Structure formats: structure tokens, C-alpha cells
């Protein structure tokens, strides 16, 4: 088998609307609704499906847990601009900018948290 790419991942969230607001407002993702009024956040060629905690769609992870994700997104915008925008939105930067190692190149990253305290890394290839 040879994996080509990631299609989607699932986040278990405590509040669907808070997560939608954060990811669309702060990270510029697009809300999509599919299936039986399910919610997802689209970016590039991928999406994040949102499962409400306690009401996860089957099948699901063995122990779906809010706040257990650690995600890295490659961004096209300069980190300085992103930092300014996060400041305007009162979203604290937890760390960065710092140098990291990405899957295809070195990265410069900043870290923030979403409403469920998932760690979100925003990175520019360097």
C-alpha cells in the first residue's frame, strides 16, 4: 500500500459552534455541511469533521476526547501578519516563532490553542 494524502481528520469538540467560529474566523477555514446536518471545516484539499463530544458519529476513535489533538497547518501568510491578526482577535500565541522540522522542509512556527485546548501549530516553510 502507498498512502497518497490525508483527506480528512476528526476533532471531537465540546461546542460545535465555538469550534466553527474559531476555525472560520481565526484560521480562515470554510464551513461545510454534509450528510445528516454534519459540520466540517474545509481548507485546501482537506477537511476537519467535527464530532460533538458524547454524540460522536460511528465509527469513531476508541476514546474520543476533546483537546487531545496536536495539529500543524502550513500557512501562506507571513507569521508576522498572522500574529497581528491573532492579537486583534485576542487569541494568545503560546509559543513562537520557533524553528521546527516539517515533513518536507524546515518550518518556522507559532502555536495557539483552539476552544478545546487542542494545540494548533501555524507554520511557514523556511
What are the residue boundaries of the structural domains of the chain, listed by start? 8-125
Please report how many Cα atoms fall inside a 13 Å half-sphere around the Cα of residue 48, on the Cβ side: 22
Q: Residue 16: its pLDDT value, please?
A: 97
User: Is 56 assigned a catalytic role?
Assistant: no
Cα 23 from Cα 106, distance rounded (Å): 25
Coil, helix or strand at residue 18 = helix
Coil, helix or strand at residue 35 = coil
Tens digits of residue pLDDT in 18-51: 999 999 999 999 999 999 999 999 999 999 999 9
Burial class (CB in 10 A: 0-12, 13-18, 19+), 7: exposed
Tens digits of residue pLDDT in 73-83: 999 999 999 99
Pick from 27, 31, 30, 47: which is nearest to 91 by CA? 27
Cα 74 from Cα 81, distance rounded (Å): 14
Tens digits of residue pLDDT in 49-79: 999 999 999 999 999 999 999 999 999 999 9
Domain 8-125 has CATH 3.40.50.1000: no
Q: In this structure, what C-alpha cell is assigned to residue 125? A: 516553510
Q: Give the active site residue among 56, 85, 94, 121.
A: 121
Q: Residue 83: its pLDDT value, please?
A: 97
In percent, the amount of the chain with pLDDT more than 90 equals: 100
Q: Determine the straight-line distance between the first and last CA of the chain, rounded to whole angstroms.
A: 31
Pick from 4, 7, 3: which is nearest to 49 by CA? 7
Amino acid at each position: 500500500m502507498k498512502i497518497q494524502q490525508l483527506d480528512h481528520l476528526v476533532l471531537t469538540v465540546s461546542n460545535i459552534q465555538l469550534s466553527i467560529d474559531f476555525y472560520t474566523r481565526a484560521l480562515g477555514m470554510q464551513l461545510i455541511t454534509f450528510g445528516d446536518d454534519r459540520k466540517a471545516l474545509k481548507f485546501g484539499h482537506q477537511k476537519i469533521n467535527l464530532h460533538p463530544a458524547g454524540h460522536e458519529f460511528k465509527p469513531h476513535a476508541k476514546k474520543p476526547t476533546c483537546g487531545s489533538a496536536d495539529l500543524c497547518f502550513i500557512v501562506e501568510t507571513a507569521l508576522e501578519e498572522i500574529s497581528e491578526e491573532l492579537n486583534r482577535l485576542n487569541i494568545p500565541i503560546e509559543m513562537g516563532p520557533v524553528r521546527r522540522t516539517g515533513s518536507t522542509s524546515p518550518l518556522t512556527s507559532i502555536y495557539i490553542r483552539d476552544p478545546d485546548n487542542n494545540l494548533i501549530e501555524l507554520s511557514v516553510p523556511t
